[in-house]
Amino acid sequence: MDRERGESEDNLDYSVANVEKALHQLYYDPNIDNKNLAQKWLMQAQVSPQAWQFSWALLSPSKVPEIQYFGASALHIKISRYWNDIPSDQYETLKSQLFNQIACFASGSKIVLTRLCVALASLALNMMPEIWPNAVGDMVKMFQTESSDVDGKARCMALLELLTVLPEEFQTSRLPQYRKGEVRNALAQESGAVFPLLQQLLQTDSPVFISQKALKCFSSWVQLDVPLLDCECLMQASFTSLQNAELFDTAVEALVNAISQPDAQRFLAILLNLADSAAIREMGEHRYVNTLLKLIPQVLQLQEQLRQAVQNGDMETSHGICRIAVALGENHSRALLEQVEHWQTFLALVNMIMFCTGIPGHYPVNETTSSLTLTFWYTLQDDIMSFEAEKQVVYLQVYRPVYFQLVDVLLHKAQFPSDEEYSSWSSDEKEQFRIYRVDISDTLMYVYEMLGAELLSNLYDKLGRLLTNTEQSTSWQHIEACLYGFQSIAETNDVNYSDVIPGLIGLIPRINISNVQLADTVMFTIGALAEWLADHPVMINSVLPLVLHALGNPELSISSVSTLKKICRECKYDLPPYAANIVAVSQEVLMKQIHKTSQCMWLMQALGFLLSALQVEEILRNLHSLISPYIQQLEKLADEPVVVVLQQVFQLIQKVLSKWLNDAQVVEAVCAIFEKSVKTLLDDFAPMIPQLSEMLGQMYSTIPQASALELTRQLVHIFANDPTHFVPVKALFLLVTSVTLSIFQQGPRDHPDIVDSFMQLLAQALKRKPDLFLAENCDVKALFQCGVISLKFPEAPTVKATCAFFTELLPRCREIQPIGLVVHENGKLLLQATLEAIGGQAPRSLMDHFAEILFALNKHCVSYLSIWLKEVMQQQNFPSSRLTQIQKETFSQQILRDRVNKRRVKDIVKEFTLLCRGLHGTEYAAEY
């Protein structure tokens, strides 16, 4: 282990003693460099020819489990990756040795037993079907044979472990595509040797740990596209297991996997197409439908258990039962809809899912179940609307009332809790609730396609009753949720022809706005109706005063400014009568600095739309009042040459800054002037770099602003590669980096614009002059951690900029040592944050950017990535509770395989994010 890193692999001594020494260093040496060195050496050892010798020695009973585990892992790697290097005359010996080791570890370390089972599974897959045709049957026989050394329960557990990992290993194996089909067929046929054994274990009075393992094994096998009708008996046993609290979670997983097999219906279609006659095809379909119809009563029998769980606040149980009901409804709704004579049975299942949607409590604090059901409602609607017109009429008679009920339930679930309760929620809970409301909004938008104008009338009647009910007081939450429903539909659907919108516009001024959340929703609703207002300008005066009044409230910054911008854009030709008032209010709020920079820019855009529709004289008069403070001192310089102007401006600006350095708007204006100058003059600007760098540093240290970072980025882009100017540019880069790091320490969430610009600056520095990261006082680790934090921001531009930073950083691992060390130490955190985003924390529109990070990790840190992926994917419910372990492992293998084709990686990520969000295969996903 003390050898030089550069020494060739052939000369390295991969002896048992050296491997043990390296493992000790990896687990117990506090020095991170030594750990990294040991890890790299051990990875080379695992793939070396000597691994065949030391692996067996490391499995000795006298060794500790960590060492035994490494030996078993090395065997798996040699078999799975280097199968072609093994002489065929050694297959039987290898098989026998592995069987013996599994028998030895049946009563030993579980992690070692699992790795040995995975190694034997890999061996079996490589030998099936020609060399080892009855592999699964042989495994069952081998472990059912009496052995004096191993007790029956231990043998049974070892067999179940082996049978469980076999399908999982198949999903992640590197078999060529043509072999995969052969092996899949062989495994499907061998399920006949597995299912009777599992059934026997689940129906007899087996110990809980055996039953649990049998359920896990069933869960693993059904993902090989075993036809649903072959799973009937084991599914019945799984339903029975739900009554046992210790088996509940495992039974839920097994049932959901069995019901949701993505290819179960496709398998049926292939089977039916291959059938020789129409009668055989009909019989096959009849059996499939019969199995489904037997499942519904079993799911409905869980309703009492579900109600009890909800009553007792047992979220785990209600969550599990809901998953089963939704899996059945989502995956088989079309087949069940077509059984018209059983419509009441399916409707009962739909009502059970409705109960889950409306589970009492506020998501995500008191319940976590209702969100699971939302994709079911998309699927059911898609299936109903896909039938021909005559059938559609029949289904709509039954299901339109159900969807009206769904709207009521969703509006109730979208309600905010009391102010007191909401203030006790953590920021993470509030963010999850916000995302949940967005999902409800999407669902309502979708439901509008089925219910149409009647839905808007329904919402209008509700709102009218709430606002005119004098007998009892109405909470603001009810009013807000009803308006939120309107907003959800109006934002994405054309409601211009609805006859209830005039009434709605008339009701809005009657709302007693006593709460920020309600005020926000009022603003966003008005904004969503901007196109309608353009067609009905007489109504503008009903709502415009509300918007202008809200402009003065910093808490309503985003909603009020964005709504004014929409009104000015859509209704600009009808706004001249209100122009003077809009300009006056806007100027007042700009002078008071109520809004952040980005909202000020929106406000200026709104005024731009407004002024563009006025007469020339009015435009000039309004423009003059808006920008005269900024141009008075520059008028005298208008006729001078550019360089002279710039020199005089610089002196003037230094004087202005000496008095106004704390004024954010002045600082932004200064940065805008110099950014244009730098872009225009390019190299001719060079003499002013030392002065500008010093002034920029002073400005950013006093009031950090995104505009100063943008200007710094321009200087880095144009001048960092010029040795003459490197010193002042480097000093400025290090200063703004230090100041921004202190912002991150205090809490960066309130400064997304600064974080966005900072990430762009870091990416530019890496692109143009990565040597900046070699500076002694450049804290690369802190910058990396800031990037990981920034990936989790809700603002899309910030996330894009951060992804760009990491895709520039990762390729520098080898050439810039500090970057290499930080990535090796903290890369797992980056991977975790990236997968969380893909798992549902970030919008789907950003998935290509996160795919770029995975691609860069795989290209430049592949050995680490394979380890990190294994570790993070073992976390329960990560990155989404909707995923199975096999789906996670399949994704990991796909990512690790594609080191060249970036487009392919992006497609893999898009598929995976749909699985994580429960949208895979839906029409909603396809149209996105």
Please state, in angstroms and rounded to a whole number, the distance separating the CA atoms of residues 776 and 520. 48
Please state, in angstroms and rounded to a whole number, the distance separating the CA atoms of residues 360 and 894. 41
Please state, in angstroms and rounded to a whole number, the distance separating the CA atoms of residues 835 and 195. 35
Please state, in angstroms and rounded to a whole number, the distance separating the CA atoms of residues 565 and 41. 60
* 856, 807 contact by CB (below 8 A): yes
Structure tokens at 304: 């009492």
Helices (H) and strands (E) in the chain, counts: 45, 0
* 188, 225 contact by CB (below 8 A): yes
Please state, in angstroms and rounded to a whole number, the distance separating the CA atoms of residues 301 and 293. 13
86: left (phi > 0), else alpha (psi -120 to 50), else beta?
beta
Sign of the torsion formed by the C-alpha atoms of 264, 265, 271 and 275? positive
Pick the closest to residue 242 from 210, 206, 215 (CA basis). Answer: 215
User: DSSP alpha helices (H): ranges in 301-388?
Assistant: 303-311, 315-337, 343-357, 374-385
Q: Which position has the token pair 């996105």?
A: 928
CA 732, chain centre distance (Å): 36
Please state, in angstroms and rounded to a whole number, the distance separating the CA atoms of residues 887 and 921. 15
pLDDT digits (tens, 9 = 90+) for 533-583: 999 999 999 999 999 999 999 999 999 999 999 999 999 999 999 998 999
Residue 208 neighbours by CB under 8 Å, 6+ apart: 244, 246, 247
Ranges of residues in the chain with a pLDDT under 70 are 1-12, 146-150, 262-286, 470-472, 620-664, 680-681, 684, 920-928
Please state, in angstroms and rounded to a whole number, the distance separating the CA atoms of residues 163 and 399. 44
Q: What is the pLDDT of residue 281?
A: 46
* 106, 154 contact by CB (below 8 A): yes
Q: Which position has the token pair 């059996």?
A: 287
pLDDT digits (tens, 9 = 90+) for 756-789: 999 999 999 999 888 899 888 889 999 999 999 9
Pick the closest to residue 752 from 762, 763, 740 (CA basis). Answer: 740
Structure tokens at 231: 């799973």
User: DSSP alpha helices (H): ranges in 747-861?
Assistant: 752-768, 780-790, 796-809, 817-836, 847-860
Q: What is the pLDDT of residue 625?
A: 65
Residue 912 neighbours by CB under 8 Å, 6+ apart: 838, 887, 891
Q: What is the pLDDT of residue 325?
A: 97
* 831, 872 contact by CB (below 8 A): yes
Q: What is the pLDDT of residue 924?
A: 45
Residue 607 has φ and ψ, to the nearest 5°, of: -65, -35
> Any idea of the CA torsion for 789, 791, 794, 797, to the nearest 10 degrees?
120
